[in-house]
Structures are given as C-alpha cells and as structure tokens.
Amino acid sequence: MTPDAPSIVIVGGGLVGLSAAFHARRAEPRARVTVLERARVGDAASGASAAGVRVMGRDPAERALALESLSRWPELDRELEGKTGYRRSGGLRVALDEAGWAEARATVAEQRAAGVPLELADADGARRLAPGISLECRGGVHCVIDGQAVALATVHAFAAAARRVGVRIEEGVVATAVVLEAARVAAVTCGDGSSVACDVAIVAGGAWTAPLLAKVGVRLPLRGRGLQMLLTDAAPASLTPVVGCFGRPLSLKQLADGAYLIGGGWPARIPNEAVNRWEVLPESVSGSLEVARAVYPPLAARAVTRSWAGIEAFTPDDLPVLGPVPGVGGLLVAAGFSGHGFALVPALGDVLARLALGLDPRADLWRGLDVARYAS
C-alpha cells in the first residue's frame, strides 16, 4: 500500500466488483475506489442470478470460500444497512432413482469431513422437509445452512453500501484497456477517451473480462454462456428449502411472494458475446419445466409468467480464476464463476480488497483458484 493509500479501479459493477469496492473502502477509508460499469449495476449475470446461497455440492477448491461466505450471510443486511432478501431456508438435493440415491449416500461423508453440515434423509425425511416432492423420491441430502436471497435486491444493497462508504460508481462507462507502465498497472481507459489513473485494477467484468485482459497479453479461457431462469405465478407457501436433484439439472425455490423460481443451468442463446443480449430457447423452457415438475409435481398447476437469462463467464473446469496476474503488478482478476458465484460474494470481496490493499489475502480460502493455472 502506498503512503497515501492506493487508487483502485474496479472494472465491472456486478456483485463481485461491488463487494470488492465496499470491502476496500471499509478496510482503508483513505483508498480512492472507482467502479466502472458498462451499463447499470446488476444488468448482467449478477442481476439475473438464481441467488442460491449454498455450500452443499461445491467443488473442494471453492468450499472454503463458500463456508466463509455462508458464515457472513445471516448478518449481511446489518453490514450493508440494506435488504438482500436472504433467508437460511436450507437446501435439499433429492434422488429420484437408484443411481441418484447411491450418489447421495456416497457424497455425504466426504463433505461432512470438510466441515459441511449435511444430513442424509430417507424418502419420508425428504418429504417432511419438502412436502409435495415426487413419490419417486428415494431420499436426499439436506444442508441446514444453505439458503437463498434476492439477486437484484442484493446488488442494490451492495451498491448503496459501497456509495455510503465513499466508492465512486460510474455507470454507462465501458473500460476499453488497462494501461501498463514498466509491467505495472497505471490507468484504465474508457470508451469516451478518458482514463482513470490507478495503482490497482481489479477486473471483475464477467463474460467481458477475457477481451480486456487479452489487450495486455493475458489470455484466459473464459467463455460466455447464457443461463436461463423461469418464474411462475404465485401459490400458497409450501416449499421451504432450495431443491436440487441428483442427475438432473434443477434449482428450485419458492420466493417470499409465493412464486417459484426455476433454474439449474439450462442454456439460453447468445447472438453476440460482445453485448449483453440473449434469447430464451423453447427447448430449454420445456426441458426445465419437465424436470422441475417431475421432482416437484405441484408445479404442474403453475404457469410461467416470465423467462430471462444472464450471460455468465465459464472456465474449462467450471471454477473461478481469482487473484493477481503473474508478471503484471497491481492487476487482479475475479471471473469465471461458472454460474455459482453469487453465494461467494461476501468472502470474494474481502479477499480482493485485501489483495488490493497489501493485507493478508486469506490464501487459505482460495488456494487452487489462482490465475496462474490458466494465464498465459
């Protein structure tokens, strides 16, 4: 950290960038922190997220980040002085066939040994947790600390908190290049020809991260994919946990207003990766509904009222790239969350702020996710 405190520019006004900005200013109020967002905060993947808050089923490489984040979610509204819509409703992943039930039984011991509080539920236990689950259910795995939030509410809570602590958020500003001097970050240039001088640049631009970094010779194998969401009409409250299914793509939750939100990684079409545009695919809508209704038959009586997608950046191993770029001083990256970064946002922001400020980066939380495994 420089004697006068660093100037930090964050590219990307999604949840990761906003969390990094909030944490940096909270840790070092003298730091000058600017967020550059190409559209409006939350317009891309963050605002279109299913907003699940889970540790169950995580890859071991991101499990520590998830556990750290889930320990903070219950107090996040107080920290941000805002409303995220978070509730610790639990998570239930069910099995509708013997192969799924075998996988459910096999996965519990390994995750529990790593500190994830899982319990195996038989068929009756699964139906007590989620009345209405298919009669074909053999059982499932329940995680009491999993839960859900509201995507746009969380974005707005982080944005308001960041502004409150002194972060400057510039919307409608496209970052066009990271300027280097002697292999160190010096500024970020913008589409209007202006530039923002900085000591540290954090690139958290989602699907638009790779083209920006390629201009300074850093090549990351990030690919944008559209992830589809469906929303139904409202019904009386009946489903508490977030429901998934072994062997079938599903993320199902009932929202506070009674509507059901259905996701699970079903693809949408991206006509042009350079812009934030997508098209919902009819086959993804029908496939998603078929799986959701097979797992939770009461959905057969519900109508879809809205469908949309968010463009997310994926890596070859479906794990994020996080941390400093080798050989370029002051350049940090956080991207490639592959559809499951929402829950990690509290810990991610803290890690990125620590890296930007020269503090202990909590490397124990993100070992194995570093940029060096891909950057060339």
Enumerate residue ranges in the chain where pLDDT < 70: 1-3, 273-275, 375-376
Instruction: Specify the domain boundaries for CATH 3.50.50.60 within the chain.
Output: 7-50+152-221+317-373
Fold annotation for 7-50+152-221+317-373? FAD/NAD(P)-binding domain (3.50.50)
Helix 345-357 to helix 60-72 angle (10° resolution) is 100
**pLDDT for position 278:** 85
User: For the segment 108-127, what is each residue's pLDDT rounded down to a tens digit?
Assistant: 999 999 999 999 999 999 99
Alpha helix ranges (H) inside the chain: 15-27, 60-72, 76-80, 98-113, 123-129, 151-164, 209-214, 282-295, 345-357
Strand, coil or helix: 226:
strand
Cβ atoms of 191 and 198 within 8 Å: the answer is: no
Question: Residue 233 and residue 218: Cα distance in Å, rounded?
Answer: 46
Compute the distance between CA of residue 116 and CA of residue 65 in angstroms, rounded to an integer: 12
Q: Which residue has the tokens 């308001």?
A: 160
Fold observed for domain 91-144+223-314: D-Amino Acid Oxidase; Chain A, domain 2 (3.30.9)
How does pLDDT run across 261-272, given as a tens digit for each residue? 999 999 999 887
146's tokens: 């999993």
Residue 1 is predicted with a pLDDT of 42
CB count in 10 Å sphere of residue 74: 14
Q: Could you give the CA distance from residue 39 to residue 311 in angstroms, rounded to a whole number?
A: 14
Stated pTM of the model: 0.95
> Could you tell me the strand order of the sheet in which 32-37 lies?
168-171, 32-37, 7-11, 200-203, 331-335, 321-324
Structure tokens at 343: 């829950």
Phi/psi of residue 46, nearest 5 degrees: -60, -45
User: Mean pLDDT over all residues of the chain?
Assistant: 95
Give the list of residues 6+ apart from residue 158 with CB closer than 8 angstroms, or none.
15, 18, 19, 22, 80, 82, 345
In this predicted structure, what is the pLDDT of residue 376? 57
DSSP character string of 138-196? -EEEEETT-EE--HHHHHHHHHHHHHHTT-EEEET--EEEEEESSSBEEEEEETTS-EE
Residues of each domain in the chain carrying CATH 3.30.9.10: 91-144+223-314
Express each pLDDT in 141-153 by its tens digit.
999 999 999 999 9
Residue 273 pLDDT:
64
Q: What is the distance between the alpha carbons of residues 281 and 218, in angstroms, rounded to a whole number?
A: 33
How confident is the model at residue 103, as a pLDDT? 96
Estimate to the nearest angstrom the gap between the alpha carbon of 60 and the chain centroid: 17
CA distance to 227, 288, 295, 307, per residue, from 302 (Å): 21, 14, 14, 14
Alpha-carbon distance values, 285 to 150, 292, 304, 308 (Å): 22, 11, 9, 10
**Rounded CA gap, 247 and 343, in Å?**
22
